[in-house]
Amino acid sequence: MIRLLLILLIALLVGTGLSLGLAYDLGYIRVSLGNYLIETNFWVGLGLIVVLVMLSLFLIGLLKRFRQGTGLMATWVSRGNERRARRRTTKGLLALAEGNWPRARKLLVSSANHADTPLINYLAAAQASFESGDHDSVDQLLRQAFESTPGSSLAVGLTQAQLQLAGNRLEQALATLLRLRKEAPHHPFVLKLLKNTYLRLEDWRELSKLLPDLRKRSVLTEKELDDLERQVWHNLLEQAAADCERRRKEDPEATLEPLTRLWDELPRFVRREEYTIRDYAGLLARLGDEGQAETLLRKVLRNHWSDELINLYGRLEGHQPDEQLIIAEQWLKDRPNNPELLLALGRLSLRNELWGKAREYFETSLRLKRSRETLAELSRLSAHMGHEEASIKLLMQGLETDNGLPELPMPRA
């Protein structure tokens, strides 16, 4: 009520002011435009100016509303495109999961421009192209993926490397992964893919350089790392031995320098591993340097016992076979019931032409452990000592054991 009274009072005052102003002659307004002359009363001119200003403000407001309406329309159209892109992307990913590669690629590429995450569209489309055998399109789509999203170099590169590996393009995969390693030196997945690539290329030297990072970043389990390390150094030793054999063919007096140099290069903890010692000693023996192999195994067996290494030791001919036998017999004092040591002592006795002692060692070993190897040695010795019947019996026992024959009734001789 009070507000209404105030409005009426203000209107009354304004009306009174206007009536007084109109009653008071303020002159006239005269405007000259070229050959035209416009004259009007001051109050009429003022009214025209007010109307003109109001009309201008109305037109400006109308123009703003029109522009806002156009923006709203563009936003509505854009949102519609995004909704359609999301639907097509979902259908494309479903087609990819179902193995419908051409449809997946078509849907994913067509919706990439309006998708929320075009990177996913292009990477998935590249996968579909690869599965359908279109390798040229793969590279193009990966390039588009990289250009669509800033900072996607690593993701795109990893996808590219995986597809190259899957397509057996090993050299290209290696180049891609080496580039990624410069970008992310400690990325676990980059290291894992690089390991797989070196394995398939059988590049044992580079793989040996990668091993410390694989272990430091826990890319594989401890068992997997240990197995991989054994595989790497075994193959490196084999390669060095093959290099020695090639040199020996060209020059019979060539040394075993490639193999011995590699042994010196091995990390200390690797040289202490039983499997590495076994491989190295076995290769030395294969290349004709049984004396050096025997010396190595003698040093190792003094401090670290191994049934596998003592078996190899018994097969080697050292520089002094008699001393070799004496040393092995000293080990027997601490291990009187070790069948592998007894087998090795039997062989060393044969090397020293101690036939009876060799037979005793073989028989004792056989009582402790019935092994094919010991049976064969005792059978061979019995045959050469003129005990053909005993030799044949041992051979038959070996055959029965090897073939797992069941116990069945047999005719008496």
Q: Tell me, what's the pLDDT at 387? A: 73
* Local structure of 40: helix, strand or coil: strand
In this prediction, residue 79 carries a pLDDT of: 59
How do 36-41 and 28-33 pair as beta strands? Answer: antiparallel
What is the secondary structure of 266-280 as a DSSP string? S-HHHHTSHHHHHHH
Specify the DSSP element, H or E, that contains 28. strand 28-33
Q: Which pLDDT score is estimated for 11?
A: 61
pLDDT of residue 410: 57
Q: 160: how many CB neighbours lie within 10 A of its CB?
A: 25
Contact 368, 384 (CB under 8 A): no
Structure confidence at residue 206 (pLDDT)? 95
Predicted local distance difference test score (pLDDT) of residue 187: 93
pLDDT profile of the chain (413 residues), mean per 10: 67 58 57 65 65 78 65 51 73 82 82 77 86 82 86 90 92 94 93 95 94 90 90 93 91 89 88 91 93 94 93 93 95 94 95 93 91 85 78 67 59 61
CB 214 within 8 A of CB 220: yes
| Dihedral over Cα of 231, 339, 372, 361: its sign | positive
Tokens of 201: 């290329």
Q: What's the pLDDT score for residue 44?
A: 64
The pLDDT value given to residue 111: 79
pLDDT, residue 235, reads 94
Q: How much is the pLDDT for 77?
A: 47
What SS3 state is found at 41?
A: strand
Domains, the chain, with CATH or none? 337-401 (1.25.40.10)
Alpha helices in 202-338 (DSSP H): 204-216, 222-250, 257-265, 268-271, 274-286, 290-303, 307-315, 321-334
What is the rounded CA–CA span in Å between residue 274 and residue 271? 8
Residue 178, CB half-sphere, CA atoms under 13 Å: how many? 10
Cα 61 to the center of its chain, rounded Å: 63
